[in-house]
Each structure stands twice: as structure tokens, then as C-alpha cells.
Amino acid sequence: MQPSVLRLADIDGTPVEALLARYGLHLVRVADGQAIPGSYWGEDEAGIIGHEVYARSDTPVHSLLHEAGHLIVLPPERRATTHTDATDSIAEEDAVCYLQIVLGGTLPGVGRVRVMTDMDTWGYTFRLGSAQAWFEQDAENAREWLIARQLLTAAGEPV
């Protein structure tokens, strides 16, 4: 567990729940110390099953946003059957990384910069060396992928 990243317990969960609900998703809070269902990485990392995102109070916010992003980008028929692992391409994974940063910018007490910093702390790797450098200078394909699927406006805001 990395104590330096922002955790669900550190923020107001109500805006997170509202954000997920916008996309037809539901936040399921898991009791502290219990295994998180649908977690690809285990430990304190968020999990996904169908329309539900599972998290504990110690789940990193960036993880919750990333896993929610996987469900958001999926077509309805795939979302309903998703359990734990959702990615089927590098393009989709890049789009999810981009979306998690954008969504973080909509949450009070989080913000894009904090999400990118926490991504770096967790160990995401980008060829430009940081999530922020990737987002600002090298993520045009991910941005276009999201715009083409009407998940992001041309101005870069989530739909």
C-alpha cells in the first residue's frame, strides 16, 4: 500500500457516486480488510463487475477512476459481462488512462494534476516519463478515440 496517493477515504464520496451514476455505474463500498471483488491488481485496488465499481476506503482514487473508465468506454453488451479485466486493446487502455485524468478533474478535492501525480507514484509508465507529459504532449490518439465514441467533447470535457 502506498500512503502517498489520494484514497477514497480522503475525499467526499458523494460526487464520486454521482459521477459514476452519470454513466450508469454504481459504487459498491467494500468493508475495510475485505477482498475487493473484481480487482485485477488485488490488495486495495478497485474492482469491476458489470455495472459496479468496487472500492474500500483505502482504494486509491486514481484506481477507482481507472476501473470506472474501463466500464465507461465499453459498449453496453460488453459492460454487462465484464468481470475484473476489461481491456481488449492498447488504444482502449490509453483512452481509459486519458479519461481517468479528465474525470478526476471533475471531482472536488481531486483534480487532474493529483490524478496524474498518483498515476506516476503507482507506477504507470509513459514514454515521455510522466502521466502529465503524456497527457499534455502525446495523448492525441486517446483523446480522439474518446471523442469518436462521444465520451469526450472536442473541448476535452467528459460527456
pLDDT digits (tens, 9 = 90+) for 65-93: 999 999 999 988 899 999 998 887 999 99
Domain ranges of the chain: 8-148
Cα separations in angstroms, 147 against 39, 78, 93, 130, 152: 28, 20, 15, 23, 5
**How confident is the model at residue 125, as a pLDDT?**
84
**How confident is the model at residue 87, as a pLDDT?**
80
Q: What is the mean pLDDT of each successive set of 10 residues along the chain, which is 159 residues long? A: 82 98 98 96 95 98 98 92 89 96 97 97 89 96 97 94
Residues 6 or more apart in contact with residue 39 via CB below 8 angstroms = 45, 46, 47, 54, 84
**How confident is the model at residue 127, as a pLDDT?**
84
Upper half-sphere CA count for residue 143 (Cβ side, 13 Å) = 14
**How confident is the model at residue 139, as a pLDDT?**
96
